[in-house]
Structure 1
Amino acid sequence: MAREHTKNILESYDDMLSKERDASKYRNKGKRNTSVKTVYGEVEYERRVYQTRLADGTKAHVYLLDRYMGVEKIGLISTNLAEKIANSVAELPYRASAEILSSSTGQVISAGGVWNVTQELGVRISSEEELDVKKMKAFTMYEGWDAEKEKEGRSTLVEKVVFAGMDGSRGFPKRGKL
């Protein structure tokens, strides 16, 4: 019943998007069958594919339903099921995870499928971390100089403090006062 309800909701949203789309920008190329494995079983539904032109003028095919819903699925696996897979493999081997997930969801999930989902999640996490690292800024400050080493003719800084974060440069002095 939950699968049928989910199918109806998805197809209703697809109908709504078809009516509201900019027809000059998105040309309806018909419906395509698809499915997604969820924690309550596999949901089969139809969604429309649209042809559009990218900024460089090339043709592209898009599913407005996926864009609208922010659907993030890995292959035919829902985000919720992918999360359950990730939690399971943190504690168990792939084969044991596959057996437990198959019995609890009523669908066949192989050890290889569990491995594939885990690899895809790893790739996504790595790319998100790379973006965060690009945003990160570092700030180093020192209290002063070592007076004894200064007498020896060597300049050495003391009381080094390093801050790292996502703040702009104006936010760092405030953190230094914590």
Structure 2
Amino acid sequence: MTLTAYFLRLARYHVWATQVLLDKSLQHLGDEQWHRDCGLFFGSVHRTVNHLLVTDNIWHARFAQGVSPRMALDTELFHERDPLVAALRKAVQRWPAWLEGLSESDAGRLDGDLSYTRNNGETVRIPFAPALGHVFNHATHHRGQISAALTSMGLPGPELDWVYQLQQEARSNS
């Protein structure tokens, strides 16, 4: 398997896990639960979902467009749930499309570096492939926090392990 193919699988998992979280778990939260401070890094489920959208937007711009948007990581892009959920659902879809669109020469970038500018103006240069892996790992981390918040509210946490998506994909392909 090529590195591009691996990241494409990871991007498809990113889409799947986000959709499972949004469709099977978060749609059942009442407004009070959605906004309740659950002790997460960003406080509430609402603010954590906003953070997921902010970081997805920032990282996608860095990788796909070569630009470094400056935006606080706790920016509230949407106060209302429906437009936030719709925006996150759309945002995660960009990753598989971007990876599928990489040409052979573009795919060579995976072995290089990613340069970008942080919010504080510092220029950073890090290995491209591990940075791309970070995008998906970071989202997994925060989806896990949201799962913990759900279970602390007495609600079932979603099954988001990558192996479940791989099994589902294998059944669909057979």
Q: TM-score, normalised by structure 1?
A: 0.24
Structure with the larger strand share: 1
Structure with the larger helix share: 2
Greater Rg over alpha carbons, structure:
1
Q: TM-score, normalised by structure 2?
A: 0.25
Point out which structure has higher relative CO (alpha carbons under 8 A, 6+ apart): 2
